[in-house]
Amino acid sequence: MQPPRDLRGLWLLPLPWFLLLGEVARAGRPGFSCPAACLCASNILSCSKQQLPNVPHALPSYTAQLDLSHNNLSRLRAEWTPTRLPHLHSLLLSHNHLHFISSEAFSPVPNLRYLDLSSNQLRTLEEALFSELQALEVLLLYNNRIGPVDRSAFEDMAQLQKLYLSQNLISRFPLELVRLPKLTLLDLSANRLKTLPVSDLQKLPAWVKNGLYLHNNPLLCTCELYQLFAHWQRRQLSPVVDFQEDLHCLSAKKPHSVFNLNCSEYKERAWEAHLGDTLTIHCDTKQQGMTKMWVTPSHERVLDEPANGTVRVIEDGSLHFQSVQVEDGGVYTCFAVGEAFNETLSVELKVYNFTLHGHHDTLNTAYTTLVGCILSVVLVLIYLYLTPCRCWCRGVEKPASHQGDSLSSSMLSTTPNHDPMAGGDKEEDFDRRVAFLEPAGPGQDQNGKLKPGNTLPVPEAPGKGQRRMSDPESVSSVFSDTPIVV
């Protein structure tokens, strides 16, 4: 029995509609055109080793990975691709002859995350060269001729995680790079670095130092350099563990191993605090984003919100002391758990039994000593220049009649001073007096004695000249330290 003719028509009716919908769908999709010099696989374009002097035109807008390595490209201008490539995340330009890159060259690829510019002929990294690549995570610039690095060349690269600058001509350590928020690897090996900002590098977290490679540089040998790498060695950081044999320094133009320098042995310093201080101790792990747990010196776990409120673990896994007490001292242990490995850190805390910046504290000893010295100097100056004038300066104001007075005319006078009622023929009746002479003239020294070779200014006798000190009749014997009885 055959089915009705009208039912057979209903079965065949949907077929043309399906064909028509297929044509519309193909018309709405852009046509796939792979450049002649490239191999294309879906959204991956490989144009490597084709001796290309320029980038192929008409690149598909959906390109996600573009390989242009091992060609003859020399310049990367702003118009290197007329088509915007919003989906491109990887661009490989290694092993070319690039010596110029326009500051607008990366505008068509704003979502680029991986950029390989290694093994080219780049000499400088100019201002804001990579400012358009705010999503970039990995940048390879090794094996170029880069010397000066502009401080703002990597500005606004908040997502950059790995930067390879080895085998270049860099002589200044780019300290601004280690401050990028997400940078975990900075390779500066095989450059021309002679000195390092040791104090700044010591302050970096361990997860940054664990990716800072500095081997094969002509570093000058110093004990500060040894202390830096000895700390890294004790923490088992990768730049020292993996390249210990390549960490050399120069002394008298001869290479030496950094760990063979004649320097004092490195010792881990403890954290120091005073009573009442607010302190935060970081769990300085070699990997970022690890789960951390702290244990007290009494082997008790530190909670996020402890009952006594003295010490707790804050959000980033650090140990926070609100008000340090003496009993808080000891060795604290941090247990960190990560995706790749686990790590255990021990931190010693020393607490001094006195406050450092209290409201009722006494002055610091050094400050007190300084104030005392200043006051002493001021008092001496007041004594020397502001005290009342003594007799020696008031002598100018005396009448002229007193200038001739001296002990030779008064105290040394042999005039008897006897009682008028007594007899005058006995020598014992004279009044006896003792006089100590003071300096009275320019011919005397400070102790009251006459200077050798000087004459004594005494009243002149008739017919005689000035008396010399050698004269036996001179009164120089009177001007002595011996008291005179008259």
Rounded distance between C-alpha atoms, residue 486 and residue 478, angstroms: 11
Q: Which fold has domain 35-260?
A: 3.80.10
pLDDT one digit per residue (tens) for the chain, 486 residues: 444 444 444 333 343 433 333 333 333 334 557 888 899 999 999 999 999 999 998 899 999 999 999 999 999 998 899 889 999 999 999 999 999 999 899 999 999 999 999 999 999 988 888 989 999 999 999 999 999 988 888 988 999 999 999 999 999 999 999 989 999 999 999 999 999 999 999 999 999 999 999 999 999 999 999 999 999 999 999 999 999 999 999 998 899 999 999 998 888 888 888 888 888 999 999 988 899 999 999 888 988 876 566 888 998 899 998 888 888 889 999 999 988 889 999 999 998 888 765 544 444 566 677 888 898 888 888 888 776 665 555 555 554 444 444 444 444 444 444 444 444 444 444 444 444 444 544 444 444 444 444 444 444 444 444 444 444 444 444 444 444 444
Q: What pLDDT is stored for residue 368 in this prediction?
A: 73
Helix (H) / strand (E) containing 85: none
Q: What pLDDT is stored for residue 18 in this prediction?
A: 36
User: Can you count the helices (H) and strands (E) in the chain?
Assistant: 8, 23
- On whether the pTM is more than 0.85, the answer is no
For residues 165 and 185, the answer to whether their CB atoms sit within 8 Å is no
Strands 162-164 and 185-187: parallel
For residues 283 and 318, the answer to whether their CB atoms sit within 8 Å is yes
35-260 with 271-352: one CATH topology? no
- Looking at the DSSP bridge assignments, the partners of residue 334 are 294, 345
Rounded distance between C-alpha atoms, residue 332 and residue 139, angstroms: 39
Rounded distance between C-alpha atoms, residue 2 and residue 173, angstroms: 90
Residue 16, helix vs strand vs coil: helix
Q: How many CA atoms lie within 13 A of 88 on its CB side?
A: 23
Q: What pLDDT is stored for residue 357 in this prediction?
A: 56
Q: Could you write out the three-class secondary structure of 393-433? A: HHHHHCCHHHCCCCCCCCCCCCCCCCCCCCCCCCHHHCCCC
Q: What pLDDT is stored for residue 229 in this prediction?
A: 95
What single string gives the DSSP state of each residue in 22-66? HHHHHHHSPPP---TT-EEETTEEE--SS--SSPPSS--TT--EE
Q: How many CA atoms lie within 13 A of 49 on its CB side?
A: 1
Q: Hey, where are the domains in the chain?
A: 35-260, 271-352, 412-417+426-486
Rounded distance between C-alpha atoms, residue 450 and residue 436, angstroms: 15
CATH of domain 271-352: 2.60.40.10
Q: What pLDDT is stored for residue 414 in this prediction?
A: 44
216: left (phi over 0), alpha (psi -120 to 50) or beta: left
Q: What pLDDT is stored for residue 139 in this prediction?
A: 97
212: left (phi over 0), alpha (psi -120 to 50) or beta: beta
